[in-house]
Structure 1
Amino acid sequence: MTEAMDTQLPRFVLSDPEFLRDPYPVYRELRERGPLCRGGPAQWVVTRHAEVSALLRDRRLGREFPEEFQNMSVGPGPAVDFLRRIIIDRDPEEHTRLRRLLSRALSPPLARSLAEPIAAMTDDLLERAVTGGTFDAVRDLAQPLPVLVMSTLLGIPREDRAAVMERSIDVSKAFAVFIPEAERAAAHAAVVWLRDYFRDLMRRRRARPGDDLLTAIAMAQEGDWRLTEEEAVDNTLFLYYAGFETTTNLIATGCAALARHPQEQTRLRADRSLLPAALEEFLRWDAPIHTTTRLTLEPVEVGGRTLRRGRVVVLLLASANHDERRFADPGRLDVGRHPNPHLSFGGGAHHCLGAMLARVEGMAVFGRLLDRFARLEPAGPEDWQPSGGGFRFPYCAYRSIPISVR
C-alpha cells in the first residue's frame, strides 16, 4: 500500500488547547486506529512502541534535514547554520565522529562524579525555598538545578549564568517545527551572542586548561579525529541547552508524579531500592521529550504503507511509552515497573548523549526529596504554559507545581 491510499488515516492536529495540556487520551485514540497517521504536508506520525522503536534504529531514516526545510522552519540566518552543525542533526559518518569525541568529553565517570555535588545543590535550593512547609517544584528546583549543573560542568562564571540561560531559551525556539516570524530574530541573535561567548571561553580554556567539560570538549581528540573550533562551540551551546531542557522536564514531571500518587510514594519510601526503577517510570509516565523527527532517506514501510524518500517522520515517543501492546496498564504509575523499555531517551545512533547525566541528576534529586521530607503532597493547582520551543514543542510545560512538605 502506498501513500496515495491514505484517505482513511487519522490526522495528528496540534490545535486543541486541552490536547496540548494532556495529549495522552489523543495518543490512545491514534494508537487504536493504527501505528501511522498523517501530520502536515509530506509528514507522517508514528504512534506505537514497536514501530517507533524500530524506526529509531533504522538507517533508512536520518536526522540531516535539507537546508530548505530549516530555512522554512526558522528562516535563513545563523540558527540554520547552527542546526546543521550540531550532533543531533548529523548522520553517519559525521555523527559517528562527533559522538565519539563528545562522548569522550561527557563520559559516564564524569557524570557519576557529580552525584554528591548535585545532592548538595539540591539541599541548598530546598533550604532556601521551603517556607511554611511548601515550595514550587518548578521555580525552586526543576528550573534552577539543571542550569547550575551545566554551568558548573562547563565552568561558566557565576556572573554570566543568567545571561547565558536567557539566550539559550531564545535558541530553544530553533528546535521548533515552525517559528513565528516575530520570534525568529531572537533565535538568530541568541546564536550569534552565545557563539561569541563560548568561543571566547573556549579559547581561554585552551590557553589555561581546567578540569571542566568545556576544556574536555576543546581538547577532544581520538586518533586523527578532532573537533573544529566551530563544531566545538556549536555543540557546547547545544549540550548546555539540552542539559537543562530535558532534565528540567524530568524533575518537574517526577515531582508531579510523586505528589499525585501517595500510594506509590509510600511504596517507594518503604523500599528505597526501587528508586532506579521509579526514575525510569517517571521518564516513561510523562516523557521529558514527547517527539523526535526523522527524514526518510529511502522508501520505508510502516503499518502496511510505503513512505517515500524525503518524507518527515514524527516519532511520538510519549505515545509509544503508553502503548498497551508493550506496557501493562500504561496509564498507571508503577515505581517498581520491570521491565520498562521506555523510549524517552530515543534509541539507535541518536540515543541521548546526556542520558547518564540526566539519570544521575534524577537519582540525586529524588533521593534528597525522600530523605528530607516525610511526605510530598500537592499544595495547589499546577500551572501550565505552551512550550515556546525546544524539544517538547508545541506541547505544554509546567510553569508551577506547588508542593506541600512535612
Structure 2
Amino acid sequence: MDTVLNMPRFLMDDARAVRDPYPVYRRLRDYGPVCRGGPGQWVFSRHEEVSALLRDPRLGREFPEEYQAVSVGEGPANDYLRRIVVDRDRPDHTRLRRLLVKSLSPAMVRGLREPVARIVDGLLDRFADERRFDLVADLAVPVPMTVMSELLDIPGPDRADVARLSTSLAQAFAVFIPPDKQREAHGAVVELREYMAGLVRERRRRPGEDLLSRMLAAVKEGEEPLTDEEIIDNALFVYYAGFETTTNAIATGGDLFVRQPHTQQQLRDRPGVVGSALEEFMRYDAPIHATTRLALEPIEIAGLTIRKGRVVVLLLASANHDERVFHDPARADLTRSPNPHLSFGGGVHHCLGAALARVEGTVVFERLVARFADIESAGEGVWEPSEGGFRFPYWARRSVPVAVRPA
C-alpha cells in the first residue's frame, strides 16, 4: 500500500495544462511503468507495457453510459458515442470494423495517391508567387478534409458546413466539455445525422464508387445487417477520424522542418525515405497522446493487479519516447529503423485510417520537398489545447507559418 500511495499521479488536468508534456512523461517512465491517475485509474507510460495492453483482450473500449455522460451530458452526442466502432467491443466492434475495412479496402487506398497529389499540388499552386503560407491552415487541414469529402462524395457547396459541424462534433470526444460546448456538440450531431441520412437515401437510389456507397453495398452483402443509425454514425466518425490523425502528422512534420532543419535536409538528400520520415513524424509527436481502456477482468502487469472496472490510460506519446526502445528519442531521425511507434494504437482497435494517413502524409512531404528548395519559419507558431483527442486532452499545432523558395 505504501508503494501505491507513494506513486506519482498523472491526471487529465495535467495534460491540459502542459504544452510540452514530454518532460512529464519522462519523469513517469523514470519512476516506473505505471503510476496513479484519477479515481479508479492506472496510467502506463513505458513502451513494453503500453504495447502489451493495447493488444490485451481483457481490456475493452465500451465504457458505461455514465462515463460518457459525465463529459458530454445526455443527448444526441452521447448516443452517437455509443454507436461508433471505436467505442464498441466484440461482437459489435467486429461487425462494424468488418464493414469499414471492406469499404475502405487497401486497394482503394493505394489508388488514392494520384488524386491526393492533385489536391496537394492545387493547394501549393496558390503559394507559388506569394511564397508564404501556413502549413496547418493552408495544407494540413484542407488536404485530409478534401480527401474525406471526395471519398464520401460530399457535394462541393456542402463541404465547408460539414467540416465546420464535424469540428464541433469532435468536442464530444473530449474529457472536459463546458455546457456551451456540450450544446454545440449535441446540435452538430443532429444536423450531421440529418445531412448524412439524406446522402444515404441518395446513394441507395443512385449508388456510386464513393465510400458511403461501398458501405451500403457491404451491408447489403453481409450476413449481419447494420441499422441505418449505425451506418450514419459510423460514416460521420470515419469522416472525422479521417482527418484528425493526418492533420496532426502533417503539422508535426512541417513544424520539425523549421525547428529541426536537419530533418528537411535528410529528406532532400534521401527522398526515398519519405515513408520512414512519416513514421518518425508520427513517433515524434503522436497525433493522439493517449487512449483509454476499461478492465473487463483482473489483469496482473508490472507488479500491479488491475481490478475489473478500473480505467487504464495508455500514454502512447510517452511510449514513443521510451529510451529503452528508441535511441535519442527527442531528436527526429527520418531514417530511424526499426521504429515500432504506437501512434496508430494496436490490437483489434488499431487505427482504421492508418493506411490512408500514410498515403496522404507521404504525398504531402514528397510534394513539399519536390516543389520547394527551402522551407523556413515565417513567424511564431501557435499551439492550442485540443479537446477532440478521443477523450485525452493535449496541445496541438494550430499554425506553422513558413516562407518557401521554389525549387
TM (norm. structure 2) is 0.96
Q: Mapping of 1:382-397 within 5 angstroms? A: 382-391=381-390, 393-397=392-396
| TM-superposed deviation, 1:301 | 2.0
| TM-superposed deviation, 1:307 | 1.3
Which residue of the partner structure matches residue 79 of structure 2?
81
CA distance in 2, matches of 1:364, 1:311: 41
Which residue of the partner structure matches residue 362 of structure 1?
361
- Structure 2 counterpart SS, 1:80: helix
- Superimposed CA distance per residue, residues 56-111 of structure 1 (whole angstroms, 9 cap, x where no aligned partner): 00011000000111111211111111111100011111111111111000111111
CA distance in 2, matches of 1:367, 1:214: 29
Which residue of the partner structure matches residue 64 of structure 1?
62
* Shift in alpha-carbon separation, 1:61–1:203, aligned structure 2, 3 A: same
Which residue of the partner structure matches residue 8 of structure 1?
6
- Structure 2 counterpart SS, 1:301: strand
Letter in 2 for 1:89: D
| TM-superposed deviation, 1:252 | 0.5
Letter in 2 for 1:363: T
Say whether the 8 Å CA contact 2:291–2:315 is kept in structure 1: yes
CA distance in 1, matches of 2:202, 2:101: 22
Q: Does 1:266 align with 2:301?
A: no
Which residue of the partner structure matches residue 346 of structure 1?
345
Q: 1:212 aligns with which of 210, 213, 218?
A: 210
| TM-superposed deviation, 1:223 | 4.2
- Superimposed CA distance per residue, residues 6-34 of structure 1 (whole angstroms, 9 cap, x where no aligned partner): 10111113446895311111111111011
CA distance in 2, matches of 1:281, 1:263: 13
| TM-superposed deviation, 1:119 | 0.9
- Structure 2 counterpart SS, 1:146: helix
Say whether the 8 Å CA contact 2:295–2:311 is kept in structure 1: yes
Letter in 2 for 1:217: M
Which residue of the partner structure matches residue 318 of structure 1?
317
CA distance in 1, matches of 2:239, 2:160: 13
Q: Does 1:46 align with 2:44?
A: yes
CA distance in 1, matches of 2:152, 2:199: 9
Q: 1:94 aligns with which of 84, 92, 95?
A: 92
CA distance in 1, matches of 2:147, 2:224: 28
| TM-superposed deviation, 1:328 | 1.0
Letter in 2 for 1:59: P
Q: Mapping of 1:113-192 within 5 angstroms? A: 113-192=111-190
Which residue of the partner structure matches residue 235 of structure 1?
234
Which residue of the partner structure matches residue 405 of structure 1?
404
The total of aligned residue pairs comes to 404
* Shift in alpha-carbon separation, 1:316–1:17, aligned structure 2, 3 A: closer
- Superimposed CA distance per residue, residues 263-283 of structure 1 (whole angstroms, 9 cap, x where no aligned partner): 232122111121111111011
Which residue of the partner structure matches residue 108 of structure 1?
106
Which residue of the partner structure matches residue 330 of structure 1?
329
Q: Does 1:203 align with 2:230?
A: no
Say whether the 8 Å CA contact 1:176–1:394 is kept in structure 2: yes
| TM-superposed deviation, 1:127 | 1.4
* Shift in alpha-carbon separation, 1:205–1:395, aligned structure 2, 3 A: same
Q: 1:25 aligns with which of 10, 23, 26?
A: 23
| TM-superposed deviation, 1:131 | 4.7
Which deviates further from its counterpart, 47-56 or 29-38?
A: 29-38
Which residue of the partner structure matches residue 372 of structure 1?
371
* Shift in alpha-carbon separation, 1:393–1:296, aligned structure 2, 3 A: closer
- Structure 2 counterpart SS, 1:6: helix
Shift >3 Å, 4+ stretches? 13-19, 129-132, 390-393
CA distance in 2, matches of 1:146, 1:33: 39
Q: Which segments of 5 or more consecutive residues in structure 2 lack a partner in the other structure?
A: none
Letter in 2 for 1:26: V
- Superimposed CA distance per residue, residues 137-185 of structure 1 (whole angstroms, 9 cap, x where no aligned partner): 0111011111100000000011111111111111111111232223111
| TM-superposed deviation, 1:368 | 0.3
Letter in 2 for 1:265: Q
CA distance in 2, matches of 1:243, 1:138: 16
Say whether the 8 Å CA contact 1:136–1:403 is kept in structure 2: yes
CA distance in 2, matches of 1:168, 1:185: 14
Report the aligned-residue RMSD: 1.6
| TM-superposed deviation, 1:197 | 0.6
> What percentage of aligned pairs have identical amino acids?
61
- Superimposed CA distance per residue, residues 318-338 of structure 1 (whole angstroms, 9 cap, x where no aligned partner): 000000111111111100000
| TM-superposed deviation, 1:124 | 0.9
- Structure 1 counterpart SS, 2:379: coil
TM (norm. structure 1) is 0.96
- Structure 2 counterpart SS, 1:129: coil
| TM-superposed deviation, 1:205 | 0.2
Which residue of the partner structure matches residue 193 of structure 1?
191
- Superimposed CA distance per residue, residues 214-254 of structure 1 (whole angstroms, 9 cap, x where no aligned partner): 11112213541232211110000000011111111111011
